[in-house]
């Protein structure tokens, strides 16, 4: 399992679908994950703060902690027929399957670690440098423009095989 970080949240122009670009923390590969609209909105809010009104996803961690458990992170575990699978990972290695959009929105709101199966990165991972020729640390405007060029040419069907 590879630790991932959020690079960008963008909209795939042809389909108007939101896409979250995840990149390796210690590596150069990234993977676009197409999201459901409501979860993309939650992700766009970013990390939960006390200044924001709570969202539905913000109730999950306090409920789990109130039951004496802890969420340790989320993992994107599989890519099959163009569809990702994900687990929410609890203490004691208890796992609960979840839609990737839901798992990622939970992870981002509560700053939880995001993992991705190495097999997924080997199968569909793209070099960040190929998408962002000026590097991941280029000004956000440049990164977004470079990524838009890539994302305009990719579709969810590209991940079927």
At 11-25, the pLDDT tens digits run: 766 777 888 899 999
HSE of 28, CA atoms in CB hemisphere, 13 A? 8
The H-or-E segment that residue 125 falls in is none
Where are the chain's structural domains? 2-159
**pLDDT at position 161 over 50:** no
Find all residues with CB under 8 Å of 31, minimum gap 6, and list them: 4, 21, 22, 76, 116, 120, 121, 124, 125, 126
Ramachandran area for residue 61 (φ above 0: left; ψ -120 to 50: alpha; else beta): alpha
* The pLDDT of residue 154: 61
pLDDT, residue 151, reads 59
Higher-pLDDT residue of 134 and 94 is: 94
Condensed to tens digits (0 to 9), the pLDDT of residues 79-107 reads 998 899 999 999 999 999 999 999 999 99
How confident is residue 130, by pLDDT bands cut at 50, 70 and 90?
Answer: confident
CATH of domain 2-159: 3.10.690.10
Tokens of 25: 């923390």
Token pair for residue 127? 């070099």
């Amino acid at each position: 399992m590879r630790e991932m970080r959020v690079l960008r949240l963008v909209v795939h122009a042809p389909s108007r679908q939101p896409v979250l670009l995840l990149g390796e923390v210690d590596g150069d590969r990234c993977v676009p994950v197409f999201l459901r609209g409501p979860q993309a909105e939650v992700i766009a809010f970013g990390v939960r703060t006390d200044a924001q009104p709570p969202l539905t996803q913000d109730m999950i961690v306090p409920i789990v902690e109130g039951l004496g458990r802890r969420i340790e992170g989320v993992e994107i575990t599989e890519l099959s027929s163009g569809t990702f699978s994900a687990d929410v990972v609890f203490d004691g290695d208890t796992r609960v399957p979840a839609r990737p959009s839901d798992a990622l929105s939970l992870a981002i709101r509560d700053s939880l670690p995001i993992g991705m199966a190495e097999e997924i990165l080997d199968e569909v991972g793209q070099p960040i440098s190929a998408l962002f020729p000026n590097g991941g640390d280029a000004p956000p405007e440049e990164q977004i423009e470079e990524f838009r060029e890539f994302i305009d040419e990719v579709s969810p069907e590209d991940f079927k095989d």
